[in-house]
Amino acid sequence: MQSKIPATVITGFLGAGKTTIIRNLLMNAQGRRIALIINEFGDLGVDGDVLKGCGAETCSEDDIVELTNGCICCTVADDFIPTMEKLLERDRLPDHIVIETSGLALPQPLVNAFNWPGIKERVTVDGVVTVVDSAAVAAGRFADDEDRVDALRAADESLDHESPLEELFEDQLTAADLIILNKSDLVDAAGLSAVRNDVAARTSRKPQMIEASGGEVSAAVLLGLGVGTESDIANRRSHHEIEHENGEEHDHDDFDSFVVDLGAVAAPDHFSKALRDIIATHDILRLKGFADVAGKPMRLVVQAVGSRVDSYFDRAWKPGEERGTRLVVIGLHDGLDEAAITAALQDAAR
Segment 257-291, tens digit of pLDDT: 788 999 999 999 999 999 999 988 998 877 888 89
Can you tell me the distance from the alpha carbon of 120 to that of 122, in angstroms, rounded to the nearest whole number?
A: 6
* Residues 6 or more apart in contact with residue 32 via CB below 8 angstroms: 58, 95, 96, 219, 223
Assign residue 32 a region (left: φ > 0; alpha: ψ between -120 and 50; beta: otherwise): beta
pLDDT tens for 310-328 read 888 988 998 998 999 999 8
* Residues 6 or more apart in contact with residue 100 via CB below 8 angstroms: 10, 18, 19, 22, 36, 37, 38, 39, 47
Can you tell me the distance from the alpha carbon of 66 to that of 38, in angstroms, rounded to the nearest whole number?
A: 5
Q: Which amino acid is at 331?
A: G
CA 12 to chain centre: 5
Neighbours of 227 (CB within 10 A): 17
Contact 195, 91 (CB under 8 A): no
Contact 64, 48 (CB under 8 A): yes
3-state secondary structure 14-60: CCCCHHHHHHHHHHCCCCCCEEEEEECCCCCCHHHHHHHCCCCCCCC
Listed range (69-73, 82-86, 204-208, 315-319) with the worst mean pLDDT: 69-73
Reply yes or no on whether the pLDDT at 60 is more than 90. no
Can you tell me the distance from the alpha carbon of 123 to that of 137, in angstroms, rounded to the nearest whole number?
A: 34
pTM beyond 0.85, yes or no: no
